[in-house]
Structure 1
Amino acid sequence: MSCTHMLCLPAIILILSIFRLTYCEVKKFPLLMPNVYPNRDELYLCTPVRVVDQKSFYIVGFEPNATMNVAHHMLLFGCTSPGTTDEYWDCGEMAVAETDSNLRKASPCAEGSHVLYAWARNAKTLELPEDVGFQVGKGTAIQYIVLQIHYSKKFPDGVTDNSGLFLMYTEEPQNKLAGVLLLGVGGFIPPRSVTYMETACQIEEDKTIHPFAYRTHTHSLGRVVSGYSITTDKNGNNHWKLLGKRDPLTAQMFYPVFDRSPISYGDRLAARCTMDSMERNRVTKVGPTNKDEMCNFYLMYYVENDTPLKMKYCTTEGPPYYHWFDEGNALNNIPDREASSLD
């Protein structure tokens, strides 16, 4: 890898005094914002790092260097090519004309977007299981790593920020390669209602994935987010296995999944966010600001002696256009109460 100034990774890494159970050397790489100045509310900024072309690296952990009073959330993307190669840029979905004219506007990735990690609400360090790592660099579609930070509030004049992540990595090949599947929902939430935002999709690749961690994300209206894997028997009956369930307003870190059963070709993945707008008199749409909402369930998994899924996202239009119970979705035995209750 190299930092945003295109220095070679060995010149700037810090060697950790820890070893994984496989006894491979683990090193730490700082991917931090280059003292940026968020000059307006609801600003999304991205900064890239280019991976050294001649080598493969395996990311085995993520150490946040941020607090929720500064950063609303962070996302880490793997890209074939970044939105730009600028030191940093405006990468919000809703870039506006008032943004500093010297700041380019672009998506996090121009090509080959993969979510590798997500952070919010003072989540703690994540270390992957033994022999599991995200492969980046040579032999992969991930040639750049891009950090995105959502800053909710404009900074005072003269105050800058270098929040970000320390990436724990090794050059020792890992035989279990990690991936992340993001289940997300669009649509809108009516005023004074409890609304279910739901998504589901089928695994259509001849691979077996092993789930090991999950993360939930909403803004202020989220009460429960739940995720499931679904198998179907020969009679067409769905069997729902709970992967994870949480109050999304608690620390939005990755937690161990409830059920580590393998998920294979033909199985489905599904997620629901229960949103409570009983005290809100306006419609709330899905969008990037604190006035909007989001419904995301991140599933982190590994494959053994294989490559991760090509499918990176599982999304639907959401309410009022999509529900689990809609005719044609072929879902039955829906765990309606369990999916929306923390009991």
Structure 2
Amino acid sequence: MGVRHMLGAVFAVHIFIQVTCSLEVKKFPLLMPNVYPDRDESYFCTPVRVVPDKSFYIVGFEPTATMDVVHHMIVFGCSKPGTTDPYWDCGEMATSDSDPKLKKANPCADGSNVIYAWALNAKRLELPENVGFQVGKGTQIQYLVLQIHYSKKFKKHESDKSGLNLIYTEEPQSKLAGVLLLGTGGAIPPRSLTHMETLCQLKEKKTIFPFAYRTHTHELGKVVSGYSVRRDKYGVDRWSLLGKRNPYTAQMFYPIFNKSPIKYGDRLAARCTMDSSNRTDYTIVGPKHENEMCNFYIMYYVEEGTPLDMKYCISEGPPYFYWRNEENNLNNIPEEEASNLI
């Protein structure tokens, strides 16, 4: 079986989304092809080839998964997928006892960027009017790859077709969407309250308009917050809260707190407050359930040109990287606000 093509007649279903001006859209099911997770902490990927001679605009995401089966899932846009097999092992922690018939590869072999992420029974997401993720002709996104993390091994003779429906249109959208992922590496010491932080500067001469955010940690996360930071003419950093959430709530994209445009020269910052008071060993960043992650996603659109070339903003994390490090040259840091839900 070769790689599937998005928009093939077998898969496309016509539907309508009610917006200010009715927009005809279609639905494409991006699903796992009856996979069998043969061990705990399995990561599987499956690709779909976008029809190459057309442009399409994804305007919504409709999950068809539940948290009792799926820990989390991510949709990647790729120039080239990890392989063109129907599915493969795309976990960083692949072991010698995993299925020898499966290839092992990253989600993308080239041009990787996150388009959508889901966990904890998050609901359907519809993008704002006239906003869409452009894929296919005229873009670097020639494949869409679904990655699913299964926490637990399945019983024999069980299989899974979890995934999501992509809601798309062929009508050009005037505002092109993108996602920027802020995250960290690092290690969390035992019996501590630790801040995992990241920071980057917008160095492209583009203006982005944030409209949604999403947080993600594993068991230790208490609060995840994200900011845009602009220095005023007096040298004072003005921190604008983009979003803040308890990561134990449904890990969907929520409306952004501050929709002000983010411009060239502004900085973006995120903090995850981690509580390891019940652990006796260090917890490292990694893909397994007992590891940790610190992720803050910003979904945005541009009114002119293309989305950012920058797709990821990743720091070394603790004990090496903190906002307060002298080389970051930050001031006016909102210590209390960034670490507490209230």
TM-score by length of 1: 0.98
The CA distance in 2 between the partners of 1:10 and 1:238, in whole Å, is: 53
Q: Taking structure 1 as reference, are residues 8 and 245 closer, same or farther at Cα in structure 2, changes over 3 Å only? A: closer
Match of 2:254 in 1: 255
Match of 1:13 in 2: 12
Identity in percent: 68
The CA distance in 2 between the partners of 1:327 and 1:12, in whole Å, is: 54
Match of 1:128 in 2: 127
The alignment status of 1:28 with 2:24, answered yes or no, reads: no
The alignment status of 1:108 with 2:107, answered yes or no, reads: yes
Equivalent residue pairs, number: 341
Structure 1 residue ranges, 4+ long, deviating more than 4 angstroms after superposition = none
Match of 1:171 in 2: 170
Q: Partner of 2:337: helix, strand, or coil?
A: helix
The alignment status of 1:41 with 2:36, answered yes or no, reads: no
Q: 1:98: how far off?
A: 1.1
The CA distance in 1 between the partners of 2:340 and 2:145, in whole Å, is: 35
Q: Indicate if the aligned counterparts of 2:5 and 2:51 stay in contact, CA closer than 8 A.
A: no
Deviation per CA, 1:280-305: give whole Å up to 9, x if none.
11100000001100000000000003
The alignment status of 1:332 with 2:331, answered yes or no, reads: yes
Match of 1:234 in 2: 233
Q: 1:9: how far off?
A: 2.1
Q: 1:29: how far off?
A: 0.3
Q: 1:90: how far off?
A: 0.2
The CA distance in 2 between the partners of 1:197 and 1:255, in whole Å, is: 21
Q: 1:23: how far off?
A: 2.5
The CA distance in 2 between the partners of 1:341 and 1:317, in whole Å, is: 23
The alignment status of 1:61 with 2:49, answered yes or no, reads: no
The CA distance in 2 between the partners of 1:296 and 1:73, in whole Å, is: 13
Q: Which runs of 5+ in 2 are unaligned?
A: none
The CA distance in 2 between the partners of 1:11 and 1:304, in whole Å, is: 34
Match of 1:274 in 2: 273
Give, as a single letter, the amino acid of the residue that structure 1 aligns with 2:174.
N
Match of 2:220 in 1: 221
Q: Indicate if the aligned counterparts of 1:19 and 1:25 stay in contact, CA closer than 8 A.
A: no
Q: Partner of 1:9: helix, strand, or coil?
A: coil
Q: Partner of 1:162: helix, strand, or coil?
A: coil
Match of 1:295 in 2: 294
The CA distance in 2 between the partners of 1:7 and 1:307, in whole Å, is: 22
Q: 1:19: how far off?
A: 4.2
Match of 2:83 in 1: 84
Give, as a single letter, the amino acid of the residue that structure 2 aligns with 1:212.
F
Q: 1:59: how far off?
A: 0.2
Q: Indicate if the aligned counterparts of 1:19 and 1:26 stay in contact, CA closer than 8 A.
A: no
Q: Partner of 2:302: helix, strand, or coil?
A: strand
TM-score by length of 2: 0.98
Q: Indicate if the aligned counterparts of 1:91 and 1:108 stay in contact, CA closer than 8 A.
A: yes
Q: Indicate if the aligned counterparts of 2:58 and 2:167 stay in contact, CA closer than 8 A.
A: yes
The CA distance in 2 between the partners of 1:262 and 1:73, in whole Å, is: 30
The CA distance in 2 between the partners of 1:175 and 1:127, in whole Å, is: 16
Give, as a single letter, the amino acid of the residue that structure 2 aligns with 1:248.
P
Q: Partner of 2:99: helix, strand, or coil?
A: coil
Give, as a single letter, the amino acid of the residue that structure 1 aligns with 2:229.
I
Q: 1:7: how far off?
A: 7.3
Q: Indicate if the aligned counterparts of 1:45 and 1:148 stay in contact, CA closer than 8 A.
A: yes
Q: Indicate if the aligned counterparts of 2:12 and 2:26 stay in contact, CA closer than 8 A.
A: yes
The CA distance in 1 between the partners of 2:265 and 2:9, in whole Å, is: 43
Q: Indicate if the aligned counterparts of 2:48 and 2:143 stay in contact, CA closer than 8 A.
A: yes
Q: Indicate if the aligned counterparts of 1:89 and 1:106 stay in contact, CA closer than 8 A.
A: yes
Q: 1:10: how far off?
A: 3.1
Deviates more, 1:273-282 or 1:232-241: 232-241
Deviation per CA, 1:176-217: give whole Å up to 9, x if none.
000000000110000000000000000000000000000000
Deviation per CA, 1:207-245: give whole Å up to 9, x if none.
000000000000000000000000011222100000000
Q: 1:6: how far off?
A: 4.0
Match of 1:197 in 2: 196
The CA distance in 2 between the partners of 1:276 and 1:128, in whole Å, is: 34
The CA distance in 2 between the partners of 1:18 and 1:342, in whole Å, is: 34
Q: Which runs of 5+ in 1 are unaligned?
A: none
Deviation per CA, 1:22-63: give whole Å up to 9, x if none.
332111000000000000000100000000000000000000
Q: Indicate if the aligned counterparts of 1:224 and 1:273 stay in contact, CA closer than 8 A.
A: yes
Match of 2:160 in 1: 161
Q: Indicate if the aligned counterparts of 1:198 and 1:324 stay in contact, CA closer than 8 A.
A: yes
Deviates more, 1:286-295 or 1:5-14: 5-14
Q: Partner of 1:339: helix, strand, or coil?
A: helix
The CA distance in 2 between the partners of 1:137 and 1:9, in whole Å, is: 14
Q: Partner of 2:328: helix, strand, or coil?
A: coil
